[in-house]
């Protein structure tokens, strides 16, 4: 199904699948007299919440993304993300604001396997991208959100596109429900950037812990305090180090698991998660959980990893059949910890 938002007439459209019907409900909510819409958080860092967001703020967010990517009227976009979350809702709003032609594809792990046309703009999760590498060349601008993009996936993207379509631009997003999707992007391909660049009119700073503070008045009137440890390069750029609530204190040393996970994922294709498990001597014992079956190949690769510090090497490696994730694809560390217990 395709919706041309330059000539939108919702009554002339035929919404058939359950996903299409959910989009219709959102469009009706958007076109109603209400000044807000309801949005659900992913629940990756706590209990999922539902809250109201001003439509004007969503329009501002949409304009920032469209301007950053240079999207123009009648460009083609594709939505393949659940409409319950801000990521899916914002794809609709961007299409409304910029009058895009929007192709609707039911969310799945392989959303573009049947795609045969060129797309100007799309948003996907890392898992969806992992299963769509052979079709990425058909997308001119792709943003990846919902979870961090692993080093192994970045390598696969580069290897795939440098031969098929070096003109494709792929970005990793930084944001949360409270920032109405994202407030900054970091290019993965064709240039591999280390720092996120925030949009215009977005101010960034750090608190005494080194965690990121965001002031983006066009999308949220409050200063947003995150638990994300960052390195700020300048007033427009920052590098994500890890979440402070994920920091592991082992023998007095603070360890950022996200940094170690990026290192491991350069060597193996499996999902990898570092956790700190209670230990009488160390306080927390560093362990590494690998998704999938143990094999000589994986163990050999793990043995060659050059950790920057001796205490970065895990005390134990555990293989599990499946690492739990939230509905939008993020690793659910809370549930994983409970499973291990």
For residue range 100-146, what is the model confidence (pLDDT) as tens digits? Answer: 999 999 999 999 999 999 999 999 998 899 999 999 999 999 999 98
Report the CATH architecture of 247-340: 2-Layer Sandwich (3.30)
Q: pTM of the entire structure?
A: 0.80
Smallest Cα–Cα separation from 87: which of 323, 325, 271, 327? 327
The Cβ-side half-sphere exposure at 337, using a 13 Å CA radius, reads: 12
Q: Which residues contact 126 (CB under 8 A, 6 or more apart)?
A: 144, 146, 147, 148, 149, 150, 153, 329
What's the pLDDT band for 46 if we cut at 50, 70, 90? low
Report the CATH architecture of 2-194: 3-Layer(aba) Sandwich (3.40)
What's the pLDDT band for 25 if we cut at 50, 70, 90? very high
Mean pLDDT computed over 66-75: 95
Report whether pLDDT(251) > 80: yes
What's the pLDDT band for 325 if we cut at 50, 70, 90? confident
Q: What is the pLDDT of residue 41?
A: 67
Report whether pLDDT(327) > 80: no
Sign of the four-CA dihedral 208, 210, 212, 214: positive
Q: Which of 138-147, 176-185, 224-233 bottoms out in mean pLDDT, i.e. has the lowest?
A: 176-185
Q: What is the pLDDT of residue 78?
A: 97
Q: What is the pLDDT of residue 123?
A: 96
Separation CA 311–CA 170 (nearest Å): 35
Mean pLDDT computed over 18-42: 89
Separation CA 338–CA 317 (nearest Å): 17
Sign of the four-CA dihedral 64, 38, 224, 219: positive
Separation CA 204–CA 136 (nearest Å): 32
- Domain locations along the chain: 2-194, 247-340
Q: What is the pLDDT of residue 143?
A: 97
Report whether pLDDT(250) > 70: yes
């Amino acid at each position: 199904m395709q919706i041309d938002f330059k000539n939108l007439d919702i009554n002339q459209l035929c919404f058939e699948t359950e996903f299409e019907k959910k989009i219709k409900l959102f469009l009706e909510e958007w076109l109603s007299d209400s000044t807000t819409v309801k949005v659900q958080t992913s629940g990756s860092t706590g209990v999922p919440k539902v809250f109201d967001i001003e439509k004007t703020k969503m329009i501002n967010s949409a304009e920032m993304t469209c301007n950053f990517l240079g999207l123009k009227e009648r460009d083609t976009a594709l939505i393949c993300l659940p409409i319950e979350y801000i990521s899916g809702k914002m794809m609709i709003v961007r299409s409304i604001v910029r009058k895009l032609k929007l192709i609707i594809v039911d969310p799945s792990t392989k959303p573009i396997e049947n795609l045969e046309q060129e797309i100007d703009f799309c948003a996907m999760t890392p898992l969806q991208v992992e299963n769509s590498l052979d079709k990425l060349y058909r997308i001119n601008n792709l943003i990846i959100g919902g979870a961090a993009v692993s080093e192994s996936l970045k390598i696969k993207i580069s290897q795939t596109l440098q031969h098929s379509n070096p003109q494709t631009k792929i970005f990793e997003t930084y944001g949360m429900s409270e920032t109405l999707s994202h407030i900054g992007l970091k290019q993965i391909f064709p240039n591999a950037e280390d720092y996120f660049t925030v949009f215009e009119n977005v101010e960034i700073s750090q608190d005494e812990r080194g965690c990121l503070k965001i002031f983006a008045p066009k999308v949220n009137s409050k200063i947003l305090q995150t638990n994300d440890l960052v390195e700020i390069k300048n007033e427009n750029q920052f590098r994500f180090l890890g979440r402070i609530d994920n920091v592991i204190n082992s023998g007095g040393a603070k360890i950022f698991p996200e940094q170690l996970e990026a290192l491991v994922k350069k060597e193996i294709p499996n999902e990898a998660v570092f956790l700190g498990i209670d230990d009488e001597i160390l306080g927390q014992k560093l362990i590494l959980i690998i998704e999938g079956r143990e094999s000589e190949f994986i163990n050999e690769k793990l043995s060659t990893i050059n950790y920057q510090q001796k205490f970065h090497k895990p005390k134990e490696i555990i293989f599990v059949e499946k690492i739990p994730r939230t509905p939008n694809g993020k690793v659910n560390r809370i549930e994983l910890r409970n499973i291990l217990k």
